């Protein structure tokens, strides 16, 4: 068994919550994941993560979204900020290298998105260029509120899966 998973399985509830919280940013998700312990394998943890995520309320999803900095920024106020922020910087590394105009367009797009939908624009940025992210942002601005919330939730699910794998070292 994965050493990190084995240790986490036996951690206290509070320690386990604090350790896994940066992978998602939703307190309800972290608590439900901890309550499902022990996990026998990385695969069982990853599958449970998806089941738990899609069983959460929209408010829980919004909490997770709020744990991320805006695309192109590095600041977050989340409780699990230090680990999560490091991952965000890595995930958005292509944005940091973008041309100034693209960065400005992303910044303006972020503001317009937040004004329209009431939460930050969230996208699984790993492996995407700034131009690709900007195009995704523009496309998603055409969505209706409920459809966009579900799209953002799917992006968060993908981010959570990547972060769980980083956390587990797989």
- 115: CATH: 1.10.3330.10
Q: How far is CA 121 from CA 11, 35, 51, 53, in A?
A: 34, 30, 23, 18
**CB atoms near residue 147 (< 10 Å):** 11
Q: What is the pLDDT of residues 48-90, one digit of tens each?
A: 999 999 999 999 999 999 999 888 776 555 444 566 666 665 6
Judged by DSSP in three states, 90 sits in: helix
Whether 33 and 49 have beta carbons less than 8 Å apart is answered as: yes
DSSP 38: P
First-to-last alpha carbon distance for the chain, in angstroms, is 12
User: What is the pLDDT at residue 1?
Assistant: 87
Quickly count helices (H) and strands (E) in the chain.
10, 0
Q: What is the pLDDT of residues 14-28, one digit of tens each?
A: 999 999 999 999 999
List the domain range (segments joined by +) for residue 31.
3-168
Look at the chain and report how many structural domains it folds into. Answer: 1
Judged by DSSP in three states, 126 sits in: coil
* Interatomic CA distance for residues 115 and 23, integer angstroms: 26
Q: What is the pLDDT of residues 80-114, one digit of tens each?
A: 456 666 666 565 656 655 688 888 999 999 999 99
Q: Which residue is catalytic, options 32, 68, 128, 157?
A: 68
**Can 74 be counted among the known catalytic residues?**
no
């Amino acid at each position: 068994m994965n050493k990190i998973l084995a240790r986490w399985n036996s951690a206290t509830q509070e320690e386990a919550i604090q350790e896994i919280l940066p992978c998602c940013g939703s307190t309800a998700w972290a608590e439900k994941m901890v309550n499902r312990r022990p996990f026998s394998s990385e695969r069982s943890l990853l599958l449970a993560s998806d089941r738990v995520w899609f069983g959460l309320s929209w408010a829980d999803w919004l909490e997770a979204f709020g744990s991320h900095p805006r695309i192109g920024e590095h600041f977050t106020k989340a409780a699990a900020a230090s680990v999560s922020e490091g991952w965000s910087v890595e995930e958005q590394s292509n944005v940091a290298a973008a041309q100034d105009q693209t960065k400005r367009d992303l910044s303006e797009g972020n503001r317009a998105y937040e004004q329209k939908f009431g939460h930050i624009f969230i996208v699984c940025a790993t492996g995407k260029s700034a131009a690709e992210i900007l195009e995704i942002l523009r496309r998603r601005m055409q969505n209706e509120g409920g459809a966009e919330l579900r799209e953002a939730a799917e992006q968060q699910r993908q981010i959570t899966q990547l972060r769980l794998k980083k956390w587990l070292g797989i």
